[in-house]
Structure 1
Amino acid sequence: MQVDRPILVTGCPRSGTTWTGNVIGAAREVFLIYEPFNDDVGARLRLPERFMRLTDGNSAPHRQEIDDLIALGRLSRRSALAMRGIAERWRPGEKRYTPGWLAFRRLHSQGQDFFGPRRVCIKDPIAFYSSEWLADTYDAQVIVMVRHPCSVIASYLSLGWESEVEAMLPHPVPEGFAGLRDEIEARNGPVQDRLTDLILQWKLFTAETLDLQRRRPDWTYILHDDLCLRPLHYFEAIFAKLGLSFTSDIADKVRRESSGTKNAANGKPVQHRHERDSRSVIDAWQEKLPGEIAERILRETAELWEEAQRRLLT
């Protein structure tokens, strides 16, 4: 196995990509890149669409910047990009070159860890539809996260997030999921409510994931519930498949982040805080969702969720 292969951690937002990416990124040989496809974060690519599906036909305008993101796994290129980041720091008003800014930030804030990484890990649910292009172009190893529909939707509602289904509708529905086409056509009629859109969004992500699993069986597919139940077991298996060393420090990090306090502060949800009892996270939606809403989600997603559990259970 090539030690410099990039890693992509993706899946539906709120499916555990941050936890998984952070644990992988704690490995000394990994340079973690946080959501470069996401136009809501500071260090991002200049992509014209959210949930863009990059292909050989449309990637040319973005290729150099993505090449340099992947090159952050090589010390020589990372050092050169850090110098560019330092130079751009003193040019207020200009759009920073994302790979340069990330290299500079690593050097500035984690200088002792600047020299060790030999590969990058991109953690990004917004890169979901570009995962195949990233795998084919850069020989990336891909991890796709899947989570219980009630957990995903409860998290969206708790954080006050709207659905992103509008950005997903241009992508074709995978073969074998004709019912989703009917739902999309129905949505194009009368205005839908937020819950309807969140349910449809989860279905589209899950259907696409199952189609990826059919076409890309060599990728790693992780059910968030399984990861929460046996975090040490699954992270050790993930590290083995990626060719990373599962050290005692990594094991301690997993223990801390799966047996601590709940993912909340003053009773309010916190987006990316992971010191929690991971087992309690699995059924937390039962306390967050009113009964009638939970029943509707379970009813409308039952068939797809059962298929996901059957096909992705490891």
Structure 2
Amino acid sequence: MTPVLVTGLPRSGTSWTGKMLTASGELVYVNEPLNPQRPPGRSPGVLNARVAHRFQYICPDNDGAWLPAFTDTVALRYRFTAELRRNRSPYDLARMVRYGTAFSFGRLTGRRALLDDPFALFSAGWFAERLGCRVVILLRDPVSFVGSWQRLGWTFYFHELLEQPLLLRDHPHLEELRSLVGCQDRLAKAVALWRAARTVAVDLAARHPGILLVRYEDLASAPQHGFRRLYEWAGLTWSARAEARISRACTAAATAAGGFTWSGLSRTAYRPMDSRQALATAAGRLTAEEIHRVRELATR
């Protein structure tokens, strides 16, 4: 069965998109197995391999451990013994029960895995070729993306990319980021990461027929139309139930009965929202001067 990967930079709408796809009832949601922090990462029950970097790069030249680990993940085989060897807190045990049950039930009922993982972005080609994933890459407007990172106080340390020789070999333009190592300008760094990711995403989509680029703004402004297209792309059934759930989760009535609910064990960034209103407020997180600067840096 064909697994699905939803990726893109963090804060590009991957969790929201992944949750909307699971409205089909045909997928088991797997949250960020390549996240190097726990939670949600460092869970060998979900992915029995060691993640060393944010945006860990995986390709045929280094997938000796990754291929069997991800083969288990997309086949929904939960590794209970491996999980218990590493994680034993009450939270860990509750999460193990949740994921172990979801994996086992999904496998028995013929469901497919959906990986929501922004950290898989640079490795999306490998997921498409080696695992046969249908890959959706979310691209978000740079002003909205940078505004979201600024609001959260996030920054990025480029050594996470530059210390991976195979990544630089396959995407040599990332060497341009070396000049920003040690830079304290969070806005400039966020734009540089956005530009690098966009270049990689466009290149991957051009080379891999199993990868689809989707603008977050297009999905948010017309969710019914956009998700119907994604359902067709992923081979999912666009049912009246899925359509109704997506409608509830993407409007002001998102918290009404029948919509999606927040679960502490899932640890996603997803919240029910009015997607059109979210578009209108995104740019308000930056000043007019900052917006102008982001636009200027993004088009260089």
1:233 to 222, 225, 244: 225
Mark the structure with the bigger radius of gyration: 1
Q: 2:211 matched to 1:219? A: yes
- Moved runs in structure 1, 4+ residues, more than 6 A? 100-103, 109-114
Q: 2:53 matched to 1:57? A: no
Residues 89-128 of structure 1 mapped to structure 2, 5 A cutoff: 91=84, 94-95=86-87, 104-106=97-99, 108=101, 115-128=108-121
Indicate the residue corresponding to 2:276 in structure 1. Answer: 279
Q: 2:74 matched to 1:70? A: yes
What is the alpha-carbon distance in structure 1 between the residues aligned to residue 30 and residue 127 of structure 2?
14
In structure 2, relative to structure 1, the CA distance for the partners of 1:88 and 1:48 (3 Å cut) is: closer
- Give, as a single letter, the amino acid of the residue that structure 1 aligns with 2:137: V
Residues 297-308 of structure 1 mapped to structure 2, 5 A cutoff: 297-302=294-299
Check the 8 A contact 1:174/1:207 in 2, yes or no: no
Indicate the residue corresponding to 1:266 in structure 2. Answer: none
Shift of 1:233: 0.6
- Give, as a single letter, the amino acid of the residue that structure 2 aligns with 1:278: S
What is the alpha-carbon distance in structure 2 between the residues aligned to residue 48 and residue 107 of structure 1?
24
Secondary structure of the structure 2 residue equivalent to 1:220: strand
Indicate the residue corresponding to 2:123 in structure 1. Answer: 130
In structure 2, relative to structure 1, the CA distance for the partners of 1:42 and 1:217 (3 Å cut) is: closer
Number of aligned residues? 275
What is the alpha-carbon distance in structure 2 between the residues aligned to residue 28 and residue 151 of structure 1?
31
In structure 2, relative to structure 1, the CA distance for the partners of 1:117 and 1:35 (3 Å cut) is: farther
Check the 8 A contact 1:147/1:224 in 2, yes or no: yes
What is the alpha-carbon distance in structure 1 between the residues aligned to residue 114 and residue 192 of structure 2?
29
What is the alpha-carbon distance in structure 2 between the residues aligned to residue 101 and residue 271 of structure 1?
16
- Give, as a single letter, the amino acid of the residue that structure 1 aligns with 2:272: E
Secondary structure of the structure 2 residue equivalent to 1:158: helix
Secondary structure of the structure 2 residue equivalent to 1:60: coil
- Give, as a single letter, the amino acid of the residue that structure 1 aligns with 2:19: N
Structure 1-normalised TM-score? Answer: 0.76
Secondary structure of the structure 1 residue equivalent to 2:86: coil
What is the alpha-carbon distance in structure 2 between the residues aligned to residue 36 and residue 202 of structure 1?
22
1:202 to 181, 194, 202: 194
Shift of 1:137: 1.1
Indicate the residue corresponding to 2:234 in structure 1. Answer: 242
Gaps of 5+ in 2: 256-266
Structure 2-normalised TM-score? Answer: 0.80
Indicate the residue corresponding to 1:42 in structure 2. Answer: 40
Gaps of 5+ in 1: 73-77, 264-269, 304-314
In structure 2, relative to structure 1, the CA distance for the partners of 1:241 and 1:226 (3 Å cut) is: same
Indicate the residue corresponding to 2:15 in structure 1. Answer: 18
In structure 2, relative to structure 1, the CA distance for the partners of 1:218 and 1:108 (3 Å cut) is: closer
What is the alpha-carbon distance in structure 2 between the residues aligned to residue 262 and residue 256 of structure 1?
5
Secondary structure of the structure 2 residue equivalent to 1:260: coil
Indicate the residue corresponding to 1:149 in structure 2. Answer: 142
What is the alpha-carbon distance in structure 2 between the residues aligned to residue 195 and residue 293 of structure 1?
8
Secondary structure of the structure 1 residue equivalent to 2:137: strand
Shift of 1:119: 1.4
Check the 8 A contact 1:35/1:123 in 2, yes or no: yes
2:154 to 131, 155, 161: 161
Shift of 1:9: 0.6
Aligned-residue identity in percent: 26
What is the alpha-carbon distance in structure 1 between the residues aligned to residue 238 and residue 126 of structure 2?
28
